[in-house]
A and B are shown apart, each in its own frame.
Chain A
Amino acid sequence: MPVVDGVHDMGGMQGFGPATWPGADAPFHEPWEARILAMTVITGFERLRCNNGRADREEMEPAEYLAAGYFDRWVYSTERGLVENGMVTTAEVDAMVERLRAGEEPPRTSNPAQVEKILHDLTDVPTLPPADNPQFAVGDRVRVRRMRPEGHNRCPRYVRGIEGVVERVQCSDTRPGAGAEPVYLVGFASADLWGPDADPGSVAMDLWEGYLEPAP
């Protein structure tokens, strides 16, 4: 069942403790974390799995999502993506775990063409094109639609139903679960998000046209 408004949608949530701690500056803490990152990126570009990583991670059982380390979630979604695309089976991965435990040396291979391709793919990604026929213009007041989305989406709960101002017509991009649409940079006053006691300030984010309606 597709999960949307799941615990991953954290903006404004409380109870998670301090924002930083000793040791939290590094991107990795273990070598394996770098390897799953690399495998995720390569298998994505090589189309060995569909690029559904975010959506898959959002479908983790809520307590597991929160308890998992960041790269634990990547292991979950990359394995799942490869299994769903028929590249590996869960049984094969289980069996390999046992083989490695039993002392088997994993294979090492070299493929210069694959190295060249992935380095090229990672560095040569086109900028998103300009928006096509945007409904809204800079300065327009818009309201974020209330919704109960049926699939992965990029509209955080904390802005649903709230009015903001279009600050930029950013680009055109494919809205998850839909087609190509204009994307707008929308600015929200902190008081409109969090109430009159909020520190004066603002939050801005990129929202697809399908998430917005004209403000009443």
Chain B
Amino acid sequence: MHEHGHDHSHEHDHDHDGFHRPRPASEAELRTRALEALLVEKGLVSTDAIDAVIDLYVNDVGPQNGAKVVARAWADPTFRERLLTDGSSAIHEMGYGGEEGHTMMVVANTPEVHNVIVCTLCSCYPWPVLGLPPTWYKSAPYRARVVAEPRAVLAEFGLELPAETEIRVWDSTAEVRYLVLPMRPEGTDGMSESELAGIVTRDSMIGTGVPLAPARA
């Protein structure tokens, strides 16, 4: 997403594909622009600091980080063991850490138990390894329903689990952040760590999906 240097008071905005069309700005949008202008005018926050934070969470930090953690765990049993017993150290060892991810716990899917993460009270999510949460994760239906009817909710995401698999839901109520370690798919034995990272989806690390099937050789 690009934020242009100029701001329009007549409430046009640029789409991702460059279209420039009139659209009524919401009250929240106007308020946001006014807050930014005020904070910048008062010298409290600089424009480039805002740009830098956006750049961090849009371009730099994202689920590709978590995918690398998962891939390494699949490839390296010793790392996997460390990841499951002390998620914080193992993840920090790979260079991922910080706000909303300083204290991590990684939970492994097995044929008996499928894990899924939620924050029923707000939207807590492991930013350093997954980036920023999708809208559905932060919205009332998922927050309200997944703790009580996880199987039905996962089915809405297209994930049907065998009846013998129990579902465990992790509600992020304190400052520990959770990451699901999905099961390694069949047919991935010859894959390199970076190829493995390529099949780990964001949703598989939240628990609303599973990794991609490996491409046919």
Contacts and interface: CB of A to CB of B under 8 A. Distances in A.
Contacts of A108: 5, 40, 47
Interface string B130-159: 011111101111111111111101001100
A30 B53 contact: no
B143 A114 contact: no
Nearest to A79: B35
A103 B35 contact: no
Nearest to A41: B53
B138 A70 contact: yes
A122 B98 contact: yes
A11 B171 contact: yes
Given A11-B143, A88-B39, A199 B98 contact: no
A14 B135 contact: no
A8 B9 CA distance: 34
A118 B167 CA distance: 38
B19 to A, nearest CB: 14
Contact of B49 (A111, A127, A187, A204): A111
B123 A16 contact: no
A177 interface: no
Contact of B46 (A109, A119, A200): A109
Given A34-B54, A93-B31, A104 B138 contact: no
Interface in B8-35: 9-10, 13-14, 26-35
Interface in B73-115: 88-89, 92, 97-99, 101-103, 105
A35 interface: yes
A14 B38 contact: no
Given A25-B134, A106-B33, A201 B174 contact: no
B173 A96 contact: no
Interface string A48-61: 10000010010000
Contacts of A183: 174-176
Given A35-B3, A183-B176, A199-B150, A21 B136 contact: yes
Given A10-B120, A208-B174, A16 B135 contact: no
Nearest to A200: B166
B176 A170 contact: yes
A46 interface: yes
A18 interface: yes
A154 B175 CA distance: 10
A161 interface: no
A133 B140 CA distance: 37
B93 to A, nearest CB: 12
With most chain B CB atoms within 10 A of its CB, the pick from A28, A106, A183 is: A106
Interface string B32-76: 111111111111111111111110111000000000000000000
B1 interface: yes
A203 interface: yes
A31 B3 contact: yes
Contact of A194 (B9, B51, B148, B208): B148
B1 A28 contact: yes
Contacts of B92: 127
B34 A93 contact: yes
B183 interface: no
B40 A106 contact: yes
Interface of B: 1-3, 5-7, 9-10, 13-14, 26-54, 56-58, 88-89, 92, 97-99, 101-103, 105, 120-123, 128, 131-136, 138-151, 153, 156-157, 166-176, 208
Interface of A: 8-14, 16-21, 23-39, 41-43, 46, 48, 54, 57, 66, 68-72, 75, 78-79, 82, 87-88, 92-94, 96-97, 99-112, 114-115, 118-119, 121-128, 154-156, 158, 168, 170-171, 173, 183, 185, 187, 193-194, 198-208
Given A72-B28, A93-B35, 6 more contacts: A9-B120, A13-B144, A128-B176, A171-B176, A199-B149, A201-B168
